[in-house]
Structure 1
């Protein structure tokens, strides 16, 4: 009888403990639920957090500026390159021929200019000689006019015969005609000289154009040697020897290592407390949550949806209010040496102190 009473007492105690445990668990769940509900409407944290963030960096696309066949590839995947390093060589035979043609055209233009200049010299000499003969004709005409006047008076006084007077008259007319012809020759010489001078200007312009053609041909030739634009680490290799590449085709991409930042997308309801210059803790997922220091540098002027290829259209009537995200740029304040293990595209979590 005593034993049964003892067993009943033990069972009641055990049941009591079980009920107490259940009540404690229920109270804890109730407290957690109330806390969660309050956290929806009120922010009790001293930090603004988001895990919708990624590391970003400048990635320079190395493109071909001319079409050609790949003759040599000088880089390896994920290898370091320095600005000015040759990474790809294109077949330059065709471009060398174009340079030789441009050089020949330039020599022809120079020779033409020299010939034009010599033509001007010759035409000026001819013009001067014609001008000198014109002066002689003027002097002969003056002498013929004086003879004509003298012989006219003498013929009036019957001092000379008609035949002599006719000879003097004919000489005067001949000198007059000769003067007109020489004046025409002088005008023609001047016209030739002027035309040759115009030809010189045209030849000079042609020479400049041929010099520009040669410079362009040499520039095109230089494009067959494709160089790294900046220091960094080169990405994947997607090209092969003998492949024909087109203008503006991307041959490689160089990831710049000395400049990295984070683009964090905060909820629009968080943006009231986000200010430029605020300190930020950045935790990198791939590095086991290792923390780095940064600061808010820029705030996006619009939500991310506004920059998307297809913006949402809320005018259809099927509207569901969705909390928008606003991109925030965060600059690392740690030295570049400390950021070596951080790669563009890595996921991070950020915390901004209020």
Structure 2
């Protein structure tokens, strides 16, 4: 009888322990469910956050075959370092052609200027002849008047009068011809001066062509635009790259931040300048310091490729997320082990 009572007492004790454990688990489950929907802490927290950084996509400005690759995968580079060389033979030929065209244009300009100098000299000589012919004409006119009076008085023969008359007409014709030559010289000089202006414009265009060819040649040397670490190498020597093709991606190391997506119901308590604890999952929860920098002007869904449309009638209310930019307070040297894309948990005090 005593053994039966002892067994019943032990069984009741075990059942009571099981009941207590079940109640504890039930209570813990209820508390966990309540914590999901209600936040009783005095902090704002989310694990929907990742590290971001500026990633510069290095593209080719010209098309050509890769002659040499100067960077290593995941290696460090500095702004201005050469990371890729393209075959530049074709571009050098174009530069040489542009230089030759410019030299020809300059030679044409020099010739045109010399032509103007010659034309001016010729015009001056013609104008001097014009003055001499004008004097001869004046003398011929005086002789004509004098011989006319003498012929009326029968002091000279008809033959002598005819000679004076012919001389007058000859001097008049010569003067008219020289005046025409002077006008022609002026017209030639004006045309040559216009040619000079045209050739000057041609030289400017040829200089622009040369600058463009030299610029295209410079594009065969692809340089790093920023300091950082190069990502995966996807190109090889001898490969043809096209214009605007990405040949490398550089992750800047001097500027990293966190994009945290908070629930819209949390946004009322988030303000710019608040202090933030940033726990990095990959580093065992190591905590870094940060501050709230900016708040997104719209929900993340509004910036997606396909914005949600609730006008169809099939509406289910879902709590939206608002992106918040959080900047690290720590020096960049302390953030080397933090990589863009890492998951973090942020807690705003």
TM over 0.5: yes
In structure 1, stretches of 5+ residues that fail to align are none
Q: What is residue 279 of structure 2 aligned with on the other side?
A: 283
The alpha carbon displacement at 1:39 in A equals: 4.1
Q: Which runs of 5+ in 2 are unaligned?
A: none
Secondary structure, in 3 states, of the residue corresponding to 1:197? helix
1:82 matched to which residue of 2? 78
Name the structure 1 match of 2:226. 230
Q: Tell me the CA shift for residue 346 of structure 1.
A: 0.6
Deviation at 1:19, TM superposition (A): 5.0
Q: Choose from 129, 139, 142 the match for 2:138.
A: 142
Give the count of matched residue pairs. Answer: 349
Q: 1:57 aligns with which of 49, 53, 60?
A: 53
**How big is the shift at 1:135?**
1.1
Give the equivalent residue in structure 2 for 1:119.
115
Helix, strand or coil at the partner of 1:248: coil
Q: CA RMSD in A?
A: 1.8
After TM superposition, give the deviation of residue 11 of structure 1 in Å.
4.2
Residue 340 in structure 1 maps to residue 311 in structure 2: no
The CA deviation at 1:239 is 0.5
The equivalent residue for 2:346 is: 350
Q: Distance in 2 between matches of 1:37 and 1:334?
A: 36
For 2:58 and 2:130, the matched residues in 1 are separated by: 72
Bigger shift: residues 43-52 or 154-163? 154-163
The reply to whether residue 190 of structure 1 matches residue 186 of structure 2 is yes
Deviations 1:246-265 (A, max 9, x none): 11111111111111000111
Q: CA deviation at 1:144?
A: 1.5
* CA shift for structure 1 position 44: 1.2
- Once the two structures are superposed, what CA deviation does each residue of 1:288-323 show, in whole Å capped at 9, x if it has no partner? 111110011011111111111111111111111111
Classify the secondary structure of the residue corresponding to 1:65: coil
Q: Per-residue CA shift, 1:42-65, capped at 9, x if unaligned?
A: 431111111111101011111111
SS of 2:225's equivalent in the other structure is coil
Q: Please, what TM-score do these two structures have when normalized by structure 2?
A: 0.95
> Following the alignment from structure 2 to structure 1, what is the Cα–Cα distance between the partners of residues 30 and 238?
69
- Correspondences of 1:272-351 after superposition (within 5 Å): 272-351=268-347
Q: Is the counterpart of residue 133 in structure 1 residue 129 in structure 2? A: yes
- SS of 1:122's equivalent in the other structure is helix
- State the 1:173 CA deviation: 1.7
Question: 2:26 and 2:55 mapped to 1: Cα distance?
Answer: 51
CA distance in 2, matches of 1:37, 1:244: 58
Question: TM-score w.r.t. structure 1 length?
Answer: 0.93
